[in-house]
Amino acid sequence: MISPHPQDEQAHLNSLLSEAYQIARQYIHHLSQQPAGCMTSHRLSPTLRETGLGTHATLEKFQQDILPYLSGSSGSRYWGFVTGGVTPAALVGDWLTATLDQNVMVPGDSIATAVELAVIEQLKVLFNLPQHRFDGVLTTGATASNLVGLATARQWGGRQLGYDIAREGFSCLHQFQLFATTPHASQIKVQGILGFGQNQWVKVRGLPDANGQEGEAMDVKDLETQLKASSAPVKIVISSAATVSTTAFDDFNAITQLCKTYQAWHHLDGAFGLFTRCSPQLAHLTIGAELADSITVDGHKWLNVPYDCGIAFTQHPQLLEETFTSGAAYLETGATLPSMMNRGIENSRRFRALPLWFTLTAYGQAGIQKIVENNCDRALQLAEWIISSPSYHLILPPQLNVVLFAGKFNGDLAIVNQRNRALLQKINQSGKVFLTPSNYHGKFCFRAAFSNWRITDEDVLEVTQILKEAFKV
């Protein structure tokens, strides 16, 4: 048998696209029946075929071997992590992105760079960031944005010490000190990648939470004490707008003020918490965020564009480009627009701006605001049910889109945790909802995060029925 070549399929492209379109339609149509989480340990053959099947047969194989085992993560009852869905406009934009296959590395051969720059301007408006002070770049997600932000901070720190770290290496890194209260796991990863070391950061005390326990928001008084006590010539403070477990927000005005006094860089991780700035009801949670030196936001979470997409903003675009530029003759463009490859990790880059442009153009500021506010209302709806339930209890009152709760069991902590772990397993095995675990001061708990545009109050009602039944059996 002769292996098919892409050339051979050129003539059948229309029918192949229709087949893929039918599969996509079916999937979306039945999304509410798709298991929210797929719990099987199904594996694929690692053998590379000598002879290809051709795309038609591959589509059939895909429907047999892969499609049934995927999660309904773009549906309305996948509440694990902080998972966005795909808006219709973003889906259209992303299909076209693959079709058009542009490389947004340097400008000069297409409008793609101008689209990315326009989208970044629109996002500054959406997040109420002063347009003239910030610039940015699209990334693959908040991890990459944290890396871009912290690498820029590192370049800034080197400059303070008379080093150009991007070119001379980081022999001066021992003169840096990082301060944080509840850095996201991706932040820790980034600290390892950038040579600071995953364990080399100063833990700033957390403020008490609503239960009077040490919480995840930074105690600014302790930050001041730690900054004052530090003899490190370069200081970087990492703040959070919505930590993953308890959605705690830091006091960004106070932190910026201290960073000014102690000449520290302020990096703010607002992967999903920055979306509070889209809603007048929630905007008070991120007052002062516009003062941070660098800011991380996710696109594939609350903005509901497909994976993968993040945004890195900074008030220091020159340092950003100094960090990520490595000139080569073939990259000279003579164009007046920046080369986006000089603002981030990759040289060749996906036309990630297009689904963003579609969704922002199709729904506008008001559309995004509505998604955010609806998700927060759904979190409150679930929390109210939990409060009234004899079987579950709320860990903390939700202040955004995340609800922490657990089953009510008697016994010592180890037993209660074990029973809750089993209960979560049972809930997720229903396929009707997918929750992820969390830990609150040693207590195993469930975490429901609302960030998909599809979620309605009926979804919440349906899930409360499932929670009720799972507890009974």
Least distance to ligand PLP from the beta carbon of 182, Å?
Answer: 9
Asked if 310 interacts with ligand PLP (CB under 6 A), we say yes
Q: Which stretch binds ligand PLP (CB under 6 A): 86-94, 141-149, 258-266, 398-406?
A: 141-149
Pick between residue 135 and residue 298 the one whose CB is nearest to ligand PLP.
298
Asked if 271 interacts with ligand PLP (CB under 6 A), we say yes
Pick between residue 299 and residue 338 the one whose CB is nearest to ligand PLP.
299
Write the binding mask 217 to 256 for ligand PLP: x where contact by CB under 6 A, - elsewhere. ---------------------------x------------
Q: Which residues contact 244 (CB under 8 A, 6 or more apart)?
A: 82, 184, 402
d(CA 451, CA 412): 34
Pick between residue 141 and residue 157 the one whose CB is nearest to ligand PLP.
141
Contact present, 403 and 245 (Cβ < 8 Å): no
Q: Which of 191, 209, 208 has its CA nearest to residue 200? A: 191
Asked if 295 interacts with ligand PLP (CB under 6 A), we say no
Q: Scanning the structure block, which residue is given the tokens 């098919």?
A: 4
Return the residue of 75, 80, 107, 141 that touches ligand PLP, per CB under 6 A: 141
Pick between residue 251 and residue 322 the one whose CB is nearest to ligand PLP.
251
* Sequence letter at residue 206: G
Q: Which stretch binds ligand PLP (CB under 6 A): 138-146, 248-256, 384-392, 398-406?
A: 138-146
111, 117, 123, 128: CA torsion to nearest 10: -140
Residues that bind ligand PLP (rule: CB under 6 A) add up to a total of 12
Contact present, 357 and 379 (Cβ < 8 Å): no
Return the residue of 269, 290, 293, 321 that touches ligand PLP, per CB under 6 A: 269
8-state DSSP, 211: T
Asked if 292 interacts with ligand PLP (CB under 6 A), we say no
Measured CA distances, 192 to 2, 83, 151, 180, 472 (Å): 48, 25, 12, 15, 45
Q: Which of 90, 436, 95, 152 has its CA nearest to residue 292? A: 152
d(CA 312, CA 321): 12
Considering only residues 58 to 87 of the shown chain, the ones binding ligand PLP according to CB under 6 A are 82
Footprint of ligand PLP (CB under 6 A): 82, 141-143, 184, 186, 244, 269, 271-272, 298, 310
